Amino acid sequence: CPLGWHHHANNCYVIKFENVTWQVAKQRCHSMDSAMVSISSVKENAFVRGLFYSDTIWLGLEDFSSGSWRWEDGSPASFTYWQASAPSGQLGQDCVKMSHQRGKWNDCQCDLLLPYVCKMPENAITPFC
């Protein structure tokens, strides 16, 4: 993994403690040849939760593109870890944040300002020096 990234199960992850909108987080991850974090298991969810100490972070899950919950790369959410009241389905709550307290997910407005995690395969070729 590039310097400053964390390895877990064939992937590399980096946490960015800058508060930005979901769309800006997506752009920042892409600028690092990565994507916003997608999560496929309880173990991966626990790993990502362990990367941050702030209240909440962005996940790469959204439903504004297709009307169904999909990861930023377009793949369907085969694993989810919603909190009890989520997803609420309220108008405008098209993005997803993870709570540090229990690692649970909640749908929310995409213009909130939150930290984020980027993810890339461990064998990805990166332009980092």
- Is 23 among the domain residues? yes
Model pLDDT, residue 129? 47
- Residue 43: pLDDT above 60? yes
* Contact between residue 70 and residue 87 where contact means Cβ atoms under 8 Å apart: no
121, β-bridge pairs = 11
Note whether residue 128 is domain-resident.
Answer: no
In a domain, 127, yes or no: no
Over 60: is that where the pLDDT of 47 sits?
A: yes
Question: Is 110 within the bounds of a domain?
Answer: yes
Mean pLDDT of 7-29: 97
Distance from C-alpha of 16 to C-alpha of 25, rounded to nearest angstrom: 9
The reply to whether 79 falls in a domain is: yes
pLDDT band with cut points at 50, 70 and 90 for residue 64: confident
How much is the mean pLDDT over the chain?
Answer: 92
Q: Decide if 1 is inside a domain.
A: no
Structural domain tally of the chain?
A: 1
What is the extent of the structural domain holding 101?
Answer: 6-121
Tell me the CATH number at 59.
3.10.100.10
Q: Does 129 fall in a domain? A: no
pLDDT at 66 over 90: no
Specify the pLDDT at position 35: 97
Residue 117: CB atoms within 10 A of its CB come to 25
